Structure 1
Amino acid sequence: MVGVLLIGNGAREHAIAETLARSPQKPKLFSYMKARNPGIARLSAGIQLGDYGNISGIIGFAMKNAVDFAIIGPEDPLDKGVADTLEQEGISCVGPKKELARLETSKSFTRLLMEKYRIEGNPKFQVFESTGGIRQFLDTLDGFVIKPDGLTGGKGVKVQGDHLQTKEDALRYCEEVLQTHPAVVVEEKLDGEEFSLQCLCDGKHVVAAPPVQD
């Protein structure tokens, strides 16, 4: 019987746990959660509660239960390098290593990468480590979006017209962000329909999941 480590305690991870439970392979699920999710717990052969930054605790739980591979849901443990450490212990992961996870964990890294390789779809943007120059850049934009550089639990991005109204609002928010983050990304507002398209890749093959919206 295949043993699977599931990291995460949200609705996304609950959906993953339910899907694993329906698998004809009947894997044995072990779940590491920051807070107890009763739905995930009911589907698990074993659970452990702990901080996602406790990499040694996650590894110990995985080794104790002799899991064959891990599925990592949240961005936080990926940012802490949990996939790197698990793979060093011979445990394959559904989830990127820390360097690759920067596409999600650092908005400035992703924008600069797209700029470097001339990938289409990049908005007009600048990365600021201080408030100097922000007002001048805002003056060049018809609409703006402010993004903290780093993880914010999906709550950090603020858009003109929805969360912020004036350039003064934007400047105040940038000042607030820079108190807790190394940088802030200021970019032009793009109008359109947003969706997520995720792919699984083993280094040779790419399989796309259905596009989704939240």
Structure 2
Amino acid sequence: MAERVGILVVSYGAREVAMIDAFLRSTNYNVEVYVADKQRNPFNAKNAKAHVVIPDLNVEAICKFAEAHKDRIDFGIVGPEKPIIEGVRDLVEKRAGIPMICPTKEYAIEASKVQQRLLFQEAVPEVNPRFKIFRQEEFKTAEDARKTLYKWLDELGNMAVVKPDKPAAGKGVGVWGDHFTTREQLFEHFWENLRHGAVIVEEKIEGEESSFQAFCDGKHLVPLP
């Protein structure tokens, strides 16, 4: 008889549905999933041993759900970045004693694109594009910011990507040629984001993009298929 294993899944969308589907197809374990969903996903609701909808995926509500089922949960996995950034692993591990597969709050580099770039600059600078960090407090007026930005665009030949420091659910990044074709359009996007925090303006690089993902326990790195 297959060994039972209980898995807490913090779910946002299709990615987590794919995870749950893979867990349930395991031939080595009898899997039970306990799902904290951003919205009611029919597949998740049907297949979960316990299911809860938490629209804002706040970590306190996720932790309470985990605590309620902690005797049946062996580990948890988190897909969306918001609860990771807000420290869901720290809270669930501390209060429910459930080991979580996701970064701690301290190491959630998704929280800051500025810190990502600075980390790369320190560790592997050759992988970084040319970039410049802008902060609103550096400028007295919007016109001051515009002049500094346009000077940087001169160096980049306008081929730039504008990225807000903080996560914006995929809506913050603007790319020259896709989201704007004039400097004025780029500046409007830049200035709107700058009002909410630091902004990176970096060199646009053409080419194919690929992702590499792996599990790591701090000592071992296991690539995913």
TM-score (norm 2): 0.87
Match of 2:69?
65
- CA-CA distance at 1:199 after TM superposition: 1.1
Gaps of 5+ in 2: 137-141
**Equivalent residue for 1:107, pick from 85, 97, 113:** 113
- CA-CA distance at 1:52 after TM superposition: 4.2
Counterparts in 2 of 1:1-214, with a 5 A limit? 1-24=4-27, 25-66=29-70, 67-89=73-95, 90-102=97-109, 104-130=110-136, 132=145, 133-142=148-157, 143-179=159-195, 181-210=196-225
Q: Give distance in 1, aligned partners of 2:209 and 2:98.
A: 34
How many residue pairs end up in the alignment? 208
Larger radius of gyration: 2
TM-score (norm 1): 0.92
Q: Is the 8 A contact 1:52 1:77 kept in 2?
A: no
Q: Secondary structure at the match of 2:126?
A: coil
Q: Is the 8 A contact 2:162 2:190 kept in 1?
A: yes
- CA-CA distance at 1:33 after TM superposition: 0.9
Identity among equivalent positions (%) equals 41
Q: Secondary structure at the match of 1:27?
A: strand
Q: Give distance in 1, aligned partners of 2:15 and 2:33.
A: 15
- CA-CA distance at 1:11 after TM superposition: 0.3
- CA-CA distance at 1:105 after TM superposition: 2.6
Q: Secondary structure at the match of 1:135?
A: helix
Q: Give distance in 2, aligned partners of 1:72 and 1:161.
A: 34
Q: Give distance in 1, aligned partners of 2:57 and 2:132.
A: 30
- Could you list the structure 1 runs, at least 4 aligned residues long, displaced by more than 3 angstroms after superposition: none
Q: Which moved more, 1:61-70 or 1:112-121?
A: 112-121
CA RMSD of aligned residues (A): 1.4
Q: Give distance in 2, aligned partners of 1:81 and 1:33.
A: 17
- CA-CA distance at 1:53 after TM superposition: 4.9
- CA-CA distance at 1:169 after TM superposition: 1.5
